[in-house]
Structures are given as C-alpha cells and as structure tokens.
Amino acid sequence: MQNSPSGDHGSVQSHGRLAALTIAAVGVVFGDIGTSPLYTMKEVFGSHGLAPTHANVLGILSLVFWSLVIIVALKYVVFIMRADNRGEGGIMALMALAQRTASKSPRTLWWLTAAGLFGAALFYGDGVITPAISVLSAVEGVAVAQPAFAPMILPISLVIIVGLFSFQRKGTASVGALFGPVMIVWFVVLGLLGLRQVVSMPSVLMALNPLYALAFFAEHGGHGFLVLGSVVLAVTGAEALYADMGHFGRRPIKLAWFALVLPCIYLNYLGQGALLVSDPASARNPFFLLAPSWLLYPLVGLATLAAIIASQAVISGAYSLTRQAMQLGYCPRFSLVHTSDREIGQVYVPAINMTLLGAVIALVVGFKSSSALASAYGIAVTLTMLIDTLLAFVVVRSLWGWSSWQGGLFLAGFLIVDLAFVLACAMKIFDGGWFPLLMGSGVFLLLMTWRKGKRIVAERTRTDTIPLELFIQSLFHSPPQRVSGTGIFMTTNPEGVPRALLHNLLHNKVLHERVVLLTVVTEDVPFVPEIDRVWVEHLDYGFLRVSLHYGFKDDPDIPTALSQAIAQGFEFEMMETSFFLGREKLIPRIKGAMPMWRERLFIFMFRNSGSAADFFKIPANRVVEFGTQVEL
C-alpha cells in the first residue's frame, strides 16, 4: 500500500524540523563543552607534573571518556532531561518541580529553594569564567604558530571580549543562524584532527576500557585524585543540555550529542593523547599541535569563533536566568531590552552585561593565561551538578514515585561521581577557585536577602491592611464621590485594601466607577496558556478582583492581558483607565527581622529596583504613584 502524498510531505516536514532544531542545538547547547578540548589535556599534563607515558595517557583518556558517558550521557541526557517542567529545563525549572513536593513542609521548602538559588548563583561564576578561558585558549594558538606573537595574546583577547559584550545590545537574531553551521564545522574539524593522529597510533582506543581509569588511580593514589580537578574541564557545559531543553526539545539535543558532538570531541581527545605519547614536548599545547603548520592560523580563527559562540550561549543564559529570577520574585527588577521581535526569549539586561564584562576583564587581566584560569574553573560547575543531582532525587522520589531502592541507586551512583569531582576541584580553591565561589556566594546572598526582605515588606503591609469586604460595606454607609473611568490598583494581597486606594480616597475624596484590585501571580511553570491568563471576580459597589497569571518564562504585559478579559465581562479601555501603584519608603529598625547590615543591603536593592510600570509595560502617562513608609 502506497503512502499518501500528504503523509510523505508531513514526514519530510517533520524530519526537516528535526534537522533544523538539531543544527540550532549544536550552535547553542554544546558551545561550552565543545571548546573544552582547547585546554583540558594541556591542563591535565601541564599543571600536575604528570608524565605523558602510554599508561598515564590511556588512564586520562579513559577518565575523560567515562566522565562524558556518566555525567553527560547518562546523568543529563538519559535521566535529568526527563525531569522537564512542561518542556522546560534548567535549575530554576528543576527547583520549581522539587518545591511542589515540599509545599506542606516550610523547612524542606526553604532548603530546596536555597539549594536551587545557590546553584543558580553559581551559574554567574561560570558565566564569567567561560568567556575568559575560552577566548584566551583560542587566541593562545597564535603563540603556537608564531612564538613572537605571545605578548599580543592578552590585548587581542581583551579586544574580542569587549567587542562580544558590546554587541549584546544588538541581539543575536541576525547572526544566530550562523552559530549551528559554524559549530558543526568546528566539531567536524575536531574529529578529523583527532582521527588523523589516532590512525597513526590506534592503541589509544584501548582507553575505552574503564580498567585503565582504575589502574591510573591505583598507580597514582592521591595525586591521581587531584588530577580529576583538571579532567572535569572536559564536562564543563554539561548542564547546558538540560538548561536549553525548552528551546530545542529533548530529541534534537540527544541526536546532536550522540551523532556528532560526543564522537568528534572524544576523537580529538584520543588524537591529543596519541600525540602526547609520540611527542611528550607537545604537552605545552597538544590541541593546536595536532594541526599541520599550514592549518594553524585558520584553526586559530575557527577556535576563536567557537569560543565566541560558547561565550554567547553562557551570556544569554545569564540574561535568561536573571529574567526568571525577577519573575519568581528572587531578585529586583532590572531594565530588560527585547532584542528580537520574533523570539520573545531573547533579552538583553544592561546591568548584568556590564557586571559580567567587568568581571571577565578582571579575570583575564588578573590570571593572564588559560592555564592560570583553569585553576579557577570547575568548582562552580561541579557544585551546580551536585545540586542538580540532589534536586533530581527529590523529583524522582516524590513526583515520579520511584521506590526507595530505585531512588537510592540513582542518588548514590551519581552522587559518588559528583562528590569526587567537587572534592578534587576544592583543592584548587586557593589557586583561583575562590573567585567563582565568591561571586556565586555574593549573588546567593543578594537573592536570599531580596526574597526575605520582600516577604517582610508583604507581612508588614498585610498587618496594616483593612479587609476588602469590610471596606466595601463601609462605602454603602458613607458613599464617596464617584468619577467616571476605571481605577486599577496593583496589590499582592487581593483580600485587603491597597494603601494606594486608601491614599487616593483620603487625598482626592473620590472613587472611580470601576475599581479593580489587580494581582500578578507567577506560577511555578515556564508558561501559562492564554486561556488561563486572566481571572475576574465581580464584587459589590463597582469593585472587581482581577488576577493575571504568568509562567516564570512568560513576558508580563498587563495592558495586553487586560484587553483579553472581555469574555469575563471586563471591558478595558486604556484612555479611560488609571493605574495606581504604591511606592514604599523603607525604614530600617535596630531590632528588625534581619541584621541591620542586611536590612540596609535590602533597602539599597529596593531603591535601585526598576519601575513596576516599565516591567509590566504600563504606559507612564496612565500611572499614578502614592508613597508610603514601611518599617522593616
């Protein structure tokens, strides 16, 4: 029986879409892990005094292979990518899933939230190191081609980094389509360079046997354990597979990993290993020395492009993470710039961009080389991987209903590997690992301070609030002057009377014909369907209670959402509507709910937080603000 033409066309479309998503995933998801061959083997044999003997090379290649298999393939691709939050991944999505299991236990909920936020905070440390080490490693290839160019490495790297961050405001929509093809070329070149060397020494293929990794530990003991701190460089960027799942889907990422990325990067590692055995002096930069001399300059150019793409993915991830944290109420509102009319997820956060740029420049100038930076790389990544494992364990036990032995087997297997890498990287803290830890801890402190401070403000405001039902009843006994139009009062407590409404009634002695108490709710899902966006409740005396529901990856737009509420009996006309917002002035207390230094930190963040009107896209000429004082 012949297939119908329409069925063939649908199959072609399906395969075409899968191919397009797979190519795009190669350009975005695998940039970080794809540039690891630039520096991993160099650090393993250059920073630990490890002789590149045949046995040592096989041991390291075996460790690299099984790290890629256990951490990337099994942990992230096979297991954790199944823990999607309505198709979305990443530590925020995983935290939201885990929080559902602890809704009745405030203490457990606090620990899960703290773990998730600490993992998210560590991402910013990774977001600083990745551009620095990737660009430096790529540019260092010019010194291999021509040693006289070595003094130019630092200036060239700084120019590339400044240019990269300066370009962020323009967005990547115009050049993003090139990322996939460029990275495909990069991975193919990696594979071919490695294959060329493997053919001359096929014995390195024995490294696929895990016994060589065990033999390496048996021979080197504690020193072999320390080498894990450099081996982990081969898997940095693994968490990006999960974080970017919402953009491409599970299947394209799996296909790209198993069909292209894993074979090509491991072939390159095998090739570097073969080169090290045949020429121990190549340990100074085995990646670039793999290439014939005529290919060195083109390879430096391609490596620089790959490093820029890898950095771009991490920088964009920092913007996206900041946006999610803002939506969930974990950080102050920052100014957001949408850089694409078609892709709503493409945003630029100027404040974050300037902070990352300053930190990256400080790293490059301070550490000066990729080898020095490698000592700082790994601790933030491995801690994030450890947190992913713990949160995923909560999900598989409580949401998936796994038995105790199944959950315990899952936890124990990955926890042993994660802890081994964390402890190995912890040995590098005093050699530079303190930097990402310090940055991550600082971000974590800010996130937790903002979360606690906002909760205190909400509690203080709630205690001074009049119940809405009693207030409406009092209006019947002493009715105020009514004016035409609609007054919308934004509030976080729909059961009470907003202070802005009381101030308006006290000072202006009038009440609008329609009074709307508007609450914006951020759900623990990435997106809320349009049909579930608006909920309207009609009350007495022209009052309405309206709640707008958004996911943590939605883009809040109050005027657009209100214009869609006609079906629920709410007709919205912007030119007949005034939005009333409260602007609190915070007063620190000597014996407040937080230490004085933390209260002042929260007040500083609060004062510098972005405007709610801008964040919710409310026209400035329709906004009225009333000030009030709140004691912390």
| 504-516 confidence digits (pLDDT tens) | 888 888 899 999 9
Q: Is residue 417 part of a domain?
A: yes
- Is a pLDDT exceeding 80 seen at residue 3? no
Q: Which residue has the tokens 């198709």?
A: 87
Q: How confident is the model at residue 160 (pLDDT cuts 50, 70, 90)?
A: very high
| All residues at 6 or more sequence positions from 598 whose CB lies less than 8 Å from its CB, including other chains | 449
Q: Is residue 338 part of a domain?
A: yes
Q: Is residue 454 part of a domain?
A: no
- Give the count of domains, the chain: 2
The pLDDT value recorded for residue 100 is 77
| All residues at 6 or more sequence positions from 603 whose CB lies less than 8 Å from its CB, including other chains | 586, 588, 632
| All residues at 6 or more sequence positions from 259 whose CB lies less than 8 Å from its CB, including other chains | none
Tokens for 424, please give them.
Answer: 């190995």
Sign of CA dihedral 356, 359, 365, 371: negative
Q: Is residue 445 part of a domain?
A: no
- CATH number of the domain enclosing 328: 1.20.1740.10
CA 157 to CA 356: how far, in whole Å?
15
| Residue 612 and residue 484 in one domain | yes
| Residue 202 and residue 346 in one domain | yes
324-341 pLDDT tens trace: 888 888 899 888 777 665
The pLDDT value recorded for residue 506 is 85
Percent of the chain with pLDDT over 70: 95
Q: Which residue has the tokens 């401070």?
A: 453
Lowest-confidence range among 58-67, 301-310, 606-615?
A: 606-615
CA 545 to CA 559: how far, in whole Å?
16
The pLDDT value recorded for residue 612 is 86
What does DSSP assign to residue 68?
A: I
The pLDDT value recorded for residue 73 is 93
- Is a pLDDT exceeding 70 seen at residue 13? no
- Is a pLDDT exceeding 50 seen at residue 538? yes
Q: Which residue has the higher pLDDT, 425 or 240?
A: 425
Q: Is 517 helix (H, G, I), strand (E, B) or coil?
A: strand
By C-alpha distance, which of 562, 22, 496 is closest to 244? 22
Structural domain ending residue among the three candidates 414, 432, 450: 432
The pLDDT value recorded for residue 327 is 85
| Residue 191 and residue 55 in one domain | yes
Tokens for 86, please give them.
Answer: 């309505």
Average pLDDT over residues 68-76: 93
Q: Is residue 443 part of a domain?
A: no
CA 136 to CA 371: how far, in whole Å?
9
| Residue 16 and residue 79 in one domain | yes
pLDDT, averaged across the chain? 87
**12 φ, ψ (degrees, to nearest 5):** -65, -45
| Residue 201 and residue 79 in one domain | yes
CA 468 to CA 582: how far, in whole Å?
17
The pLDDT value recorded for residue 9 is 45
The pLDDT value recorded for residue 12 is 53
| Residue 168 and residue 245 in one domain | yes
Q: Which residue has the tokens 């073969």?
A: 274
By C-alpha distance, which of 596, 601, 36 is closest to 303? 36
**583 φ, ψ (degrees, to nearest 5):** -120, 105
pTM of the model as a whole: 0.85
| Residue 351 and residue 289 in one domain | yes
- Residues 420-453: b if buried by 16+ CB within 10 A, e if exposed: ebbebbbbbbeebbebbbebbeebbebbbbbbeb
CA 604 to CA 588: how far, in whole Å?
11
Tokens for 423, please give them.
Answer: 């402890």
Range of the domain at 173: 10-432
The pLDDT value recorded for residue 7 is 44
CA 227 to CA 618: how far, in whole Å?
55
| Residue 238 and residue 386 in one domain | yes
Q: Is residue 440 part of a domain?
A: no
| Residue 417 and residue 483 in one domain | no
Q: Is residue 112 part of a domain?
A: yes
For the CA atoms of the chain, what is the radius of gyration?
Answer: 28
Sign of CA dihedral 122, 126, 127, 132: positive
| Residue 474 and residue 410 in one domain | no
CA 498 to CA 461: how far, in whole Å?
9
545-577 pLDDT tens trace: 999 999 888 889 999 999 888 878 788 889 999
CA 572 to CA 559: how far, in whole Å?
8
Q: Which residue has the higher pLDDT, 578 or 583?
A: 578
CA 99 to CA 111: how far, in whole Å?
10
Q: Pairing between strand 347-348 and 481-490? A: unpaired
Average pLDDT over residues 403-418: 83
| Residue 206 and residue 326 in one domain | yes
Tokens for 276, please give them.
Answer: 């090290």
Tokens for 92, please give them.
Answer: 């925020």
The pLDDT value recorded for residue 41 is 94
Structural domain ending residue among the three candidates 382, 412, 432: 432
- Is a pLDDT exceeding 70 seen at residue 172? no
**114 φ, ψ (degrees, to nearest 5):** -65, -40
Q: Is residue 588 part of a domain?
A: yes
By C-alpha distance, which of 317, 253, 259 is closest to 77? 253
Structural domain ending residue among the three candidates 388, 409, 432: 432
Average pLDDT over residues 449-457: 90
The pLDDT value recorded for residue 591 is 73
Sign of CA dihedral 129, 78, 65, 182: negative
| Residue 184 and residue 35 in one domain | yes
Q: How confident is the model at residue 392 (pLDDT cuts 50, 70, 90)?
A: confident
Q: How confident is the model at residue 223 (pLDDT cuts 50, 70, 90)?
A: confident
CA angle 285, 290, 296 (to 5 degrees): 85
